[in-house]
Amino acid sequence: MTQSITRDQILARLQANEPLVLVEALPPQYFNKEHLPGAININHDQIAALAPTLLPDKNAFIVTYCSNPQCNNSTLAAHQLAQLGYRNVFKYAGGKQDWLDAGLLLERADSAVAV
């Protein structure tokens, strides 16, 4: 079972400069439009192919997310990462919508943007 993490817990880790890898589990066009600060993009159906290269540390604190609580991509990605042996995988169920609803900034490929 995948562990959940809240927006406040993510913010606390970011503010404390604690290691954290945010993984957006949506297709690249959605990631390029907007994503959480510092996130990387691994579409949920590319986890097995890309995780070994993009996430070499299986002990890293990893948070998967997608668009909103109805989106299942973050759950699929987290489950696949756990199956690949990643030990600290969390799912941010609220995703980008929860982040925006809190008035927090999202990034684009070229700059941060408030949407």
Tens of pLDDT along 103-113? 999 998 764 44
Pairing of strands 112-113, 106-107: antiparallel
C-alpha radius of gyration, the chain, whole number: 13
DSSP3 helix / strand / coil % (the chain, rounded to 5) = 40, 20, 40
Q: Which residues have C-beta within 8 Å of that of residue 27, sequence separation ≥ 6?
A: 43
pTM: 0.92
Tens of pLDDT along 7-60? 999 999 999 999 999 999 999 999 999 999 999 999 999 999 999 999 999 999
Give the per-residue pLDDT at 112.
42
Domains defined along the chain, listed by start: 3-104 (3.40.250.10)
